[in-house]
Structure 1
Amino acid sequence: MRSALVALVLFVVLGAACGGNPPVPRRGVVEADLGSWKFRRFQGPLLDVEVWIDGNKGEAFSASYITNDAEKRGRIEDKDLVNVTVTKYEKADGVVRETVKLVRRLAQEKGYQVEEAKIEGVRALTITGPAEAWVMWPSTKYVVKVGGQGRTSVPKGMVESYGERFPSKLPGGSLEGPLPPGPQAKPKKGDAVEENYDPANPKANLDNYDPDKVKIPERKIEPDVDPAGTSDKKKKPKK
């Protein structure tokens, strides 16, 4: 009975360990080999981020990978190198919106071809330019970019590996439809702030009222003459 119980516990623990997505790397990028791609270099944190979000600070981490063949021959060509950059933000506000805005701007520039695609289950934006190819997608408070210079395509296995760690939050039709919602703009200094209505303590709106329906009481001003009608000013009582 005891051995059966131990076996059941081990089965549950191992099953839980095998399920779910891999965790987010401690320093943003995977500092290990991914399939046939060999990890070679880490950089970060980098404060010069590509997707800039007002009021939401980000820092980037970069990793470089080379093919097994390049390592064997001791010479690296453009097709043998893939770079991955993961930018981490303080919060998720504006991450999806600003990523889409950046890619839309690239689509308007000459030489860049931008498309939305699903690569190994990861909904992403592909960016192909003169002698470069990239795949980019937002993931909650992260932006992931995979590709490199001198490339004509991006390895699907690399996109899949990072997509498991950073699930895409890119909505379908993001290049043509309305921009995804962003953070609510905070009122600037000096701007009027609209207060919520409090039924227990209502306040009059003097800028927008109907004078025929609302009677504002006039302030009573005490006359300077005494009740007897003399012109002498009414003396104030001494304190």
Structure 2
Amino acid sequence: MEVVDMLNDIYKSFDHILDHHDVYKVETIGDAYMVASGLPKRNGNRHAIDIAKMALDILSFMGTFELEHLPGLPIWIRIGVHSGPCAAGVVGIKMPRYCLFGDTVNTASRMESTGLPLRIHVSGSTIAILKRTECQFLYEVRGETYLKGRGTETTYWLTGVKGQEYNLPTPPTVENQQRLQAEFSDMLANSLQKRQAAGIRSRKPTRVASYKRGTLEYLQLNTTDKESSQVN
């Protein structure tokens, strides 16, 4: 239940951030949160601008978010952004949903999965659109990245907007990731042991969530374009 509560708190904050941008929340699937701009109504090249600024706001928020039951433990997310055409429509009768289809959706997902914690991983097509806008976005070349189904492409890290302040969290190093994974495993194991012991003493059945030692779950984000931009 603590995982559900955490996702609920995070998603409510994301929903509030989305209210300040011309974007559309497509869906949430578990720990994946998918957003699009440029649909269902077209907005020119604004789709890339709105998605990029939304991603920066979300990453800034994650730098301040803390778990109530585990204060001080950092929460890392990966954000992937891609722009391109896609098909969209309402699917289903009993539970109709507005769904997106196409290579743009898949590539946005690949951008997220090949990214790094606390980084906004942006495709070359999105950067090309941002360069043609009036906003001066700041970015770094990540280098060549293999994207399943597309091959190797040059990708980028979005780092801000010239003249605007974003309090972005510092991305963890590989060493920090390994150390925090180990600390999180120990912390969670101790917490579960204490709850189990408390349940035995009180003779009340206690449901304990399972945890696979040594693994760390990441929250995912998405975006899409009609031409739209998508964040995963």
Instruction: State the TM-score, normalized to the length of structure 2.
Output: 0.28
Higher relative contact order (CA 8 A, sep 6+): 2
Tell which structure's C-alpha radius of gyration is larger.
Answer: 1
Is the helix fraction higher in 1 or 2? 2
